[in-house]
A and B are shown apart, each in its own frame.
Chain A
């Protein structure tokens, strides 16, 4: 069995990728990841997002989540509205784009009259008394 090998073609091509080019790809993929996380937090499938945005083709959502899509400002604005997340950072005091808010799995116990009901974050957006917990994760 061959124990040594070379990656000359890979290394050659990697040497030609500029930090700016890499950053663009990473930004697209991080946006897709953030959208997917927000959908998961709402318990949404692709069809739910499609309907919320008034789209007719689920394959469009698949493309957004694939991390290959170059999002327009209008689309990001629409996605913010329906997913209740921040994707555009327009003032100085807001978080930089590389900081992604990722929901973590915390089971919340919410008093409901005499009954305590455990709920998952997927339902956290429904009752107004429930706080959704986030952690800030820097993917870089």
Chain B
């Protein structure tokens, strides 16, 4: 099991959707912050654009599925990638829970010469991490340890994964 905590990013969350990210055990930053820090120098414009899109999702549009490239994970696990400008080289992985909640993970640069994410170790690691986290959240939802708030905008329950399950 991956030891981590799911945290709400208040900067991006609004009346239309809540944006969450993940803090891995032993880390002092969210996966999204790590992604930004890794790419802010080499891809500043693209990272900025990603933050603008997350801001709009939270406050103006909600997490419409059209904004995400689906089927980036296993069937039904909600793992997807946020669409960016057509010529963007970055790929940011997320977990989509309807229009009102997304969990933003990390990602990396997608080289033009690869077709599948499995061909790039960095993308594969970040993607498979989110698949596992999605699986852990699904189990908690099944066990009713995590529920949705009445307005659908929040996870309620135990968002800390630190025990051996």
Contact = CB atoms under 8 A, between A and B. Distances in A.
Given A5-B28, A10-B11, A29 B60 contact: yes
A13 B83 contact: no
Query: By DSSP majority rule, is chain A's interface helix, strand, loop, or mixed?
Result: helix
Interface in A1-45: 1-14, 16-17, 21-22, 25-26, 29-30, 32-33, 36
B121 to A, nearest CB: 22
B56 A25 contact: yes
B61 A6 contact: no
A112 interface: no
A9 B64 CA distance: 26
B138 interface: no
Interface size class of A (residues with CB under 8 A): 20 to 34
A47 interface: no
B32 interface: yes
A7 B53 contact: no
Contact of B66 (A11, A26, A30, A65): A65
A66 B50 CA distance: 13
A68 B16 CA distance: 19
Interface of A: 1-14, 16-17, 21-22, 25-26, 29-30, 32-33, 36, 62-63, 65-68, 139-140
26 contacts: A1-B3, A2-B27, A3-B5, A5-B33, A7-B9, A8-B33, A10-B9, A10-B30, A10-B36, A12-B40, A13-B47, A13-B51, A16-B48, A17-B51, A22-B52, A25-B49, A25-B56, A29-B53, A29-B56, A30-B56, A32-B66, A33-B61, A66-B66, A66-B83, A67-B61, A139-B60
Most buried by A among B26, B44, B53, B85: B53
Contact of A5 (B30, B52, B60): B30
Contact of A6 (B29, B44, B67): B29
A39 to B, nearest CB: 10
Contacts of A29: 53, 56-57, 60-61, 67
- Give the most central of A4, A14, A140: most B CB within 10 Å: A14
- A2, A32, A63, most chain B CB atoms within 10 A: A2
Contacts, number: 114
Interface of B: 3, 5, 7, 9, 11, 16, 23, 25-30, 32-34, 36-37, 40, 44, 47-49, 51-53, 55-57, 59-61, 64, 66-67, 83-86, 160, 162
Contact of B67 (A1, A9, A67): A67
Indicate the member of A1, A21, A32, A63 with the most B CB atoms within 10 Å: A1
B28 A22 contact: no
A14 to B, nearest CB: 6
Contacts of A7: 9, 11, 29-30, 32-33
B117 to A, nearest CB: 18
Of the candidates B9, B64, B162, the one having the most CB atoms from chain A within 10 angstroms of its own CB is B64
